[in-house]
Each structure stands twice: as structure tokens, then as C-alpha cells.
Amino acid sequence: MKMKKSFLTLLALFLISVMVLSLVACGSEDAKTADNKGSSQVTSTAAGNDKENSEPVEVTYWHMWSADWKIWIDGQVDKFNATYPNIKVNPLSIPEDGETKFLAAVAGGDPPDVFTGWGNVIPTWAESEAIMCLDELISSSAPDMEEFMYPIASELGKYKGKTYAMSIDLCPLMIFWNKDLFKEVGLDPEKFPATIEELDSVESKFWKYDSKGLIERTGFIPTWLYVWAPAFGGKFVDDNNNPTPNDKGLLNTLKWFESFVTTKGYSMEKIDAFNTSLANNTQSVNPFLTGKSAFTVDGVWLLTDIQKYAADMNYGIASLPYPSDGGKPNANIIMADFDVISKGAKHPEEAFEFIKWMVGYGGNEEAAGELMATGGNIPVAQKVVESSAYKSYLDEIPARHEFMKGLNSENNTTYPTLTYGSYYIDRLLAAEERVMHGTQTAEEALNQVADEVAKEAAKQEVTK
């Protein structure tokens, strides 16, 4: 598990390589033991041997967590091993270059059975046959897995219509607002703008400047084009999975971004200076927590930070606003951590039993609920959300319930499932940077992205 102190910082790291989010595994021995006779029971093949006192089948499990998180995940694996006496999962931490070492192990013919990863690597790994297609395992031992999971969770593990990975947690985003600052500027603190137009009409009230004209407090300014694009109906690919950087929704999103520096006249130079001053302050925490920003877009983990660093803060949470004309409510770009089974895994059936336990399938809802609660994450299935362990976690900070409301939304989307998907997103962010700093218009910037992505696609086609 990774610390989630700054969601936007983690996203930046993701776009350079792969995004680092968090997940850890834990379980409830009592809940699992009670269900051993149900659908989660390991078959004689998966158990390796149904003879009494037989040696357990050993499953090698690689992850990239270290330090305290390594200790924690190791403890959760111990809970699985106690629940499944015929399987012994042996965890190994590979914190440095974990994905590179995983691929090298696959190429060398001695890979781990299970690997936990994150980011937009599934298309590349599937295309290169580094990981197994899971469809056969799902069909034989979890035929209703797709119905069990939220649709977006199922989609996140697919490439070209086949399942290559199993999502083990979800990371939706919401917008937070400071209710006390709403009161300060004369707005109803309980009524957050539902549409882009409503947000545009009030956001200027929150900005504060010092006597030199430098920013003391930011109101709202959009960042991360791909995060907001779904609310504008933006599509990264067409129905044939071809990239669509000139999509109308993407263009409208970037034009909205552009309006903050053209129509509204905000200075990116001053905003950059404000952000730099925060970064240079070693005592600085998230500016939203200190009242230096009236809004922020973040994940469920921010609630824990609020409880820890700003317990008296009066805040609200809402879905991202959307344009009144053609926009999409409850639209989110969802990320996830995932498990894969390597090509050449020695024990794929046992590995899949471990994965099912992690997601909560087959009577493991309580175990997965404890897993998600302890890790501070969001489950991939409604039944896990409804587990007593997870309900207790939600009730500890009631605002956590807000993050559960949109998980089934038909307007949720994922990163483009392309082998060059990370490159594509990176180019969109570079386009955003150029537009916000006034060197290109929105149209010019997306035209450049179209050229760049087309060249990358052609390059990858040649190297196949």
C-alpha cells in the first residue's frame, strides 16, 4: 500500500510510468471458514491434493509494497493461509522496479503465480502474453463473477473483450468544498453547484490576494483534463477502440479549461508561484486542509487526512459538476489496483483462489470488507460494501458513504485500453499545459495530440 497524501501528485507519477495507488489484503477467518462448503471451496485440483495431512500447494505472490505496508500485507496473507490450509501463499516484496522484474521473471520462465499491479499496463502485458487470460478460470470456478462486481470494476480488467486482470479496489474521485468559506462569501454552504455553469458563476468569489497581488487563497481552477472529460461526455476512444483526441467532449472540456485564462483572466504565472510556494514549504499539507484552497478533487483517502489534520473542518463532498447542455452527471474516470496471473504460473488455480478471496467472491464478502476497511479502499462489489466490517468502516466517517453512491453509474469510464494508453493520457496533459499557459488554443493542442498519438500507434504497429 502507498501513502495517499496527495492524489494529484500520485496521478502525475502515474502518467510518467504507472500510477501508484494502494491496496492491501486482509480477511476474516471466521467468515471464510463458515463458507468452506460453499462456492468458495477449493476443488481437489485447486487444493493440489485432498488427502489428509498433505502438503499445501505453495503460491508465489509478488507485490511492490515496502516498510510498514509490507508488514501489513504479509499479515493479511497469513489470514488467507489460515483460512485455506491446502494453499500457502508466499508473499515477496519487490519495491524497486517491480514491474520490470516481473516481466523479466516471465521472460525467464520462473514468474510468480500472482502479481499485484496498478496503472495502465494491462493492454501491454496482455498483448505481449506476459499474463494469462482469466476467462477459463472464471468460467470454471466463478461463472457469475461479472455480475458480482460493479460493471466498471469488471471493465477495468479487460482487454479486447477478454479478462486479463481482476480489479481488487476502486478509486473514484469527488469534489470537496469548504463550507465555512461558502458562508464567508455569502453562499449557501449546503448547496454545491451541480452544473459547470453554476460553478462558473460563483468560483471567483473565493480567490484572495495579498497587497502585492500574489495569491493567498485559490478558488477553483480546473486541472487534469482526463478527470473532467467524462462529465463533458468526452470519449478517449471510439466504439472500435481507436483514439479520439479530437472528440467533441474532450474539446469542450479543454475549452472550458482555456476560459479560465482567457475569458476569466486568471494568471497561470501567479498560480504556478502559489503552487511552488506550497511545495517549498516543508511544513505544508494539502492546501484544502489549511483553508488555502476552497475546492479540491480527490479520493476517499482524503477523508482520513481531514480527520487527522483538520478535524474541525466543515466540508462537503459532491460528484463533479457537468455542463447543463450535453453533460453527464455522476461521471467519473475510475482507477483500480489489480491482480494478474503470470504466463507460465505454476499454480494458476490456487492463484485464482487467492484472487477471489481478495475481491470477496464466493462467500468472502466479510473478509474482503475487512480488507478494504483496513486498507482504506473502496470494494469492487456491492456485496462487500454491504458487509458488516465495511459498513462499520463507512460509519466511522459518514462522508465515506458519498463515494459509494456513484459506483454503479453508467457514466463511469476508464483510461483508454490501448498499449499506448499512458502515452495518450500524457499527451493530453501536455496539451492542457500548453493551453493553460497560452501557447496554443484548445483546438491546436488537441490537433497536436492527434498527430502524436497517430505516430505512436504506427510505431507500435511496426514493432509487433
Give the residue with greater pLDDT, 284 vs 11: 284
**Which range among 72-81, 326-335, 359-368 shows the weakest confidence by mean pLDDT?**
72-81
CA distances from 111 to 48, 132, 339, 341, 393 (A): 19, 12, 14, 9, 36
Residue 302: is its pLDDT beyond 80? Answer: yes
Look up the pTM and report it.
0.86
**What are the tens digits of pLDDT across the range 325-345?**
999 999 999 999 999 999 999
Phi/psi-derived region of residue 254, left when phi > 0, alpha when psi is between -120 and 50, beta in every other case: alpha
Q: Name 464's Cβ contacts closer than 8 Å, sequence gap at least 6.
A: none
Instruction: Return the closest-CA partner of residue 255 out of 229, 294, 218, 219.
Output: 229
The burial of 461, by beta-carbon neighbours within 10 Å (0-12 exposed, 13-18 middle, 19 or more buried), is given as: exposed
Q: Name 169's Cβ contacts closer than 8 Å, sequence gap at least 6.
A: 21, 22, 23, 336, 337, 372, 375, 377, 378, 379, 380
| Structure confidence at residue 283 as a pLDDT band (50, 70, 90) | low
> According to the model, what pLDDT value does residue 39 have?
38
Q: What percent of the chain has pLDDT over 70?
A: 88
Kindly provide the b/e burial profile for residues 75-88, where b requires at least 16 CB atoms within 10 angstroms of the residue's own CB. Answer: ebbebbbebbebbb
pLDDT, mean over the chain: 89
Give the residue with greater pLDDT, 4 vs 80: 80
> According to the model, what pLDDT value does residue 207 have?
98
> According to the model, what pLDDT value does residue 309 have?
93
Give first-to-last CA distance, the chain, whole Å. Answer: 34
> According to the model, what pLDDT value does residue 50 have?
47
Most confident segment among 79-83, 189-193, 280-284? 189-193
**What are the tens digits of pLDDT across the range 250-272?**
999 999 999 999 999 999 999 99
Q: Give the C-alpha separation, 417 to 334, whole Å.
A: 13
| Structure confidence at residue 86 as a pLDDT band (50, 70, 90) | very high
Expressed in percent and rounded to 5, the helix, strand and coil fractions of the chain are: 45, 15, 40
User: DSSP label at 41?
Assistant: P
> According to the model, what pLDDT value does residue 118 have?
87
Q: What percent of the chain has pLDDT over 90?
A: 80
Cα three-residue angle 23-223-290, rounded to 5 degrees: 75
Mean pLDDT score, 183-197: 98
> According to the model, what pLDDT value does residue 282 have?
58
Residue 37: is its pLDDT beyond 80? Answer: no
- Report the 10 Å Cβ neighbour count for 189: 16
Cell of 240: 472500435
Q: Give the C-alpha separation, 419 to 335, whole Å.
A: 17
CA distances from 342 to 27, 105, 110, 128, 293 (A): 24, 9, 10, 11, 44
Q: Give the C-alpha separation, 74 to 9, whole Å.
A: 27
50 touches 44 (CB < 8 A): yes
> According to the model, what pLDDT value does residue 92 have?
96
> According to the model, what pLDDT value does residue 14 have?
38
Cell of 289: 486542509
83 touches 371 (CB < 8 A): no
Mean pLDDT score, 397-414: 95
- Put the strands of the sheet holding 295-298 in their side by side order: 295-298, 174-178, 315-318
Residue 8: is its pLDDT beyond 70? Answer: no
The domains of the chain, with CATH numbers, are 19-172+334-404 (3.40.190.10)
